[in-house]
């Protein structure tokens, strides 16, 4: 039997900005065995990105990219766009992970690009357990298939049929790891208040949440069903849920709404600057 085909990024591929999220994508692809030999990370700091050639400027990157991942802060679009627009070609696929910056806004900046694709990954893509939402109104089927294959190496990948859906996924999955991390930390602090050593409380909280998520993923049982299995009538868990349940849904909804509002503000700010 022959060796399986190695998944590779197009040559050349640019990561224009490679901070936390783009760096997480690189790490996920690298650990998954994706061929990154044709990739270059462009970071003004010059700090190396493991697995890819790193340069300080687009002028040092070499040939124009076939694929370019925009991984800088959305507020930097005005600063980065003019030079990048001069360097891309009609073969360049632009994949933007800029929160809130809509495809139409990107198209006005990068008129020559082959396609504009928006992606909303989350941080666990670094361990290939992420969520990656994708949207494009001009990507042909063959490109969608190619990008689906690359995104699937990072976790659960889904194409959306509107930017509203992409934004909704981003407000839950993109921001969600921060909220989950806060919950785990709060669970650990509660254990510390019950007398557990700090390190033990942190480990128990983390393993409890990890195990519950794993159980749900493996069994496909609804979370409410798992909660009911843990909570015996008039028992200790039910006493705790009586405190948590009246507030949790509204609290999480308000949290997600705040993230969604900020995404809409970023979209409006970017659109205003491009008009």
Residues 207 and 84 in one domain: no
pLDDT at 272: 76
50 in the same domain as 143: yes
Domain check: are 121 and 20 in the same one? yes
Q: Is residue 137 part of a domain?
A: yes
144 and 246 inside one domain: no
Q: Are residues 146 and 180 in the same domain?
A: no
Residue 95's domain comprises 13-170
35: domain CATH number is 3.40.50.720
pLDDT at res. 264: 87
Which among 170, 202, 234 is the end of a domain?
A: 170
Give the integer Cα–Cα distance in Å for 32 and 150: 10
For 117, phi and psi rounded to 5 degrees? -125, 130
pLDDT of residue 273: 74
What does the pLDDT look like over 196-238, one tens digit per residue?
A: 999 999 999 999 999 999 999 999 999 999 999 999 999 999 9
Q: Is residue 223 in a domain?
A: yes
Asked whether residue 136 falls in the same domain as residue 185, the answer is no
Tell me which of 142, 170, 198 is where a domain ends: 170
Together in a domain, 162 and 229: no
Are 45 and 165 contained in the same domain? Answer: yes
Number of domains forming the structure of the chain: 2
CATH of the domain at 181: 1.10.3730.10
What's the confidence (pLDDT) of residue 39? Answer: 97
- Is the domain of 108 the same as that of 235? no
* Final residue of a structural domain among 119, 142, 170: 170
Residues 242 and 158 in one domain: no
Identify the pLDDT of residue 119.
97
Say whether both 224 and 151 belong to one domain.
Answer: no
In a domain, 228, yes or no: yes
Say if 6 falls within a structural domain: no
pLDDT at residue 271, rounded to an integer: 80
Residue ranges of the chain with per-residue pLDDT less than 50: 1-2
């Amino acid at each position: 039997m022959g060796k399986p085909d190695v998944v590779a990024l197009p040559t050349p591929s640019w990561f224009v900005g490679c901070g936390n999220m783009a760096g997480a994508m690189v790490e996920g692809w690298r650990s998954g065995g994706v061929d990154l030999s044709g990739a270059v990370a462009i970071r003004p700091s010059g700090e190396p990105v493991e697995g890819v050639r790193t340069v300080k400027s687009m002028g040092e990157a070499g040939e124009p990219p076939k694929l370019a991942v925009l991984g800088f802060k959305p507020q930097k679009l005005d600063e980065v766009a003019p030079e990048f627009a001069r360097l891309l070609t009609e073969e360049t696929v632009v994949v933007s992970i800029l929160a809130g910056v809509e495809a139409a806004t990107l198209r006005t900046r990068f008129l020559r690009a082959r396609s504009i694709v928006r992606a909303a990954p989350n941080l666990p893509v670094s361990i290939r357990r992420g969520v990656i939402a994708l949207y494009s109104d001009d990507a042909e089927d063959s490109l969608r298939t190619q990008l689906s294959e690359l995104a699937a190496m990072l976790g659960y990948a889904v194409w959306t049929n509107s930017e509203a859906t992409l934004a909704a996924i981003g407000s839950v999955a993109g921001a969600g790891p921060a909220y989950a991390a806060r919950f785990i930390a709060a669970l650990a602090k509660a254990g510390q208040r019950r007398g557990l050593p700090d390190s033990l409380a942190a480990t128990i909280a983390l393993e409890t949440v990890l195990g519950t998520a794993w159980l749900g993923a493996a069994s496909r049982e609804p979370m409410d069903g798992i909660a009911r299995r843990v909570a015996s009538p008039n028992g200790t868990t039910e006493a705790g849920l009586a405190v948590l349940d009246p507030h949790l849904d509204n609290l999480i909804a308000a949290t997600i709404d705040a993230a969604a509002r900020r995404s809409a503000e970023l979209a409006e700010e970017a659109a205003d600057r491009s008009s």
